[in-house]
Amino acid sequence: MKNNFSKPFLLALGLIMALMISFQTLCHGQSPGAIYGTIETIDGNSYTGALRWGKEEAFWSDMFNSQKTRNTNVKYLSKSDYEKMKGEKEEGWKWNNYSISFIWDDEYHATTHSFACRFGDIARIELKGREEINLVLKNGEEIELEGGSNDIGADIQVRDREIGEISIPWNRIEVISFSETPDNLRAHFGEALIGTVKTERGEYTGRIQWDHDECVGEDKLDGDTRDGDVSIKFNNIAAIKKDGRGSEVTLRSGRTMYLYGSNDVNSGNRGVVINLPDLGKVKVGWDDFVSLELIWGRNSDMMGYKDFPKPEKISGTVRTTNGQTLRGELIYDLDETWDLEMLDGSDEDTEYSIPFRNIKRIKPKNYAYTEIILKNGQKLLLGDSQDVTDKHDGVLVFTSRDSSPKYVVWDDIDEILID
């Protein structure tokens, strides 16, 4: 049977259909940044799909936080090294009567050693107890962790590709295995919040976590108005501007509202987090925050699982104040070993967590501040953290595979150049 449609009409129809498919793909797919994996339960059941930690982390560049159960790097220190680090604290030692060897009290091992990396750096999480896990990195390295944040113990939401959404209690989980997010994944937790945050010290454009937890368009901004309480989906918001004891909220329609009375919109806000591929995590406190302008339709720009390389040991050159140069693998602050681990520091009410793989140069300025130069050329002057002040425990440099590492106390460091 011969149709009566002209060739131009059919071409136009085909173009319209292609545009419709592309539009649907943009609306429902294109989410390479969504955390994706398989949860195996203690009964042997498995659930595969997009994952979200409670009502918080949902994307590969979100941070996973916990605590290391122990730190064995202290074994590399001599007695004189330890005295340099801790001062003349002889009670930290127990001497063996039969040799010049010594053993440590549990004083150093008992101190807290935090651990943080991005979800995209993790291959697998194996549960070992109520708060104990074995975290496996992409290179197969295993790290024992315990508690330290609500990332341990959280119910995990799964958008299973066959059964839909399920919330799995932490105590039902045996293993969480991560894998690359499928192209055009439809069953995820929503479009990421991407925008520009203006602060008292500049501005950042990246993926946003509002009040430290709202991170997708379906999440809601809560507040009071003179006419009653409201909960507005971020999908409908164009901008948020701090204003007195509340915030002025501009909707995508152009409508404006003044909200107050909630930690979403006042000084009770726990921080506006910006996730940046070439920096790390920036958390802007309310004192530094000025405004947020959301940008929609940019989810395809986000980091996918494959954008996080296998971790490598931190390596570089340490130059001392007396002119010595030491090069090799480094253990920073007697703790951080891998390039995916974080250097933490603050500038006033803005906090930074920077993977060592993004750092080019670390130069102590005085007892309270350190200059950090990133590989993208950005300079930061950071304080308020052990990583960047005189509370630092020093650096171990493995100059040769066959020799013991050299220990350099923080006061003796002129600069560190990271490979």
Q: Which of 358, 364, 361, 363 is nearest to 376 (CA)?
A: 358
Q: Does the pLDDT at position 8 exceed 60?
A: no
Percent of the chain with pLDDT over 70: 85
pLDDT at residue 79, as a whole number: 79
Q: What angle do CA 404, 406, 407 make, to 5 degrees?
A: 125
If one compares 3 and 244, the residue with the highest pLDDT of the two is 244
Can you tell me the distance from the alpha carbon of 366 to that of 389, in angstroms, rounded to the nearest whole number?
Answer: 8
CA 394 to chain centre: 24
Q: Which of 316, 392, 315, 358 is nearest to 118 (CA)?
A: 358
pLDDT at residue 300, as a whole number: 63
Can you tell me the distance from the alpha carbon of 282 to that of 271, in angstroms, rounded to the nearest whole number?
Answer: 9
CA distances from 399 to 170, 315, 333 (A): 43, 10, 17
Q: Does the pLDDT at position 93 exceed 60?
A: no
Q: Mention every residue, 6+ apart, whose C-beta is less than 8 A from residue 99.
A: none
Q: Does the pLDDT at position 29 exceed 50?
A: no
pLDDT digits 0-9 by tens, 177-200:
999 999 888 878 889 999 999 999
258, β-bridge pairs: 248
pLDDT digits 0-9 by tens, 32-57:
799 999 999 999 999 999 999 999 99
Q: Does the pLDDT at position 108 exceed 90?
A: no
Q: Which of 242, 293, 296, 282 is nearest to 264 (CA)?
A: 242
The letter for the amino acid at 107 is E
pLDDT at residue 99, as a whole number: 33
Q: Does the pLDDT at position 96 exceed 50?
A: no
Q: Give the pLDDT band (50/70/90) at residue 85.
A: confident
Can you tell me the distance from the alpha carbon of 367 to that of 242, in angstroms, rounded to the nearest whole number?
Answer: 34
Q: Does the pLDDT at position 148 exceed 80?
A: yes
Q: Give the pLDDT band (50/70/90) at residue 28.
A: very low
- Where residue 267 falls (left for φ over 0; alpha for ψ -120 to 50; beta otherwise) is alpha
pLDDT at residue 344, as a whole number: 97
pLDDT at residue 102, as a whole number: 41
pLDDT at residue 104, as a whole number: 44
Q: Give the pLDDT band (50/70/90) at residue 76.
A: confident
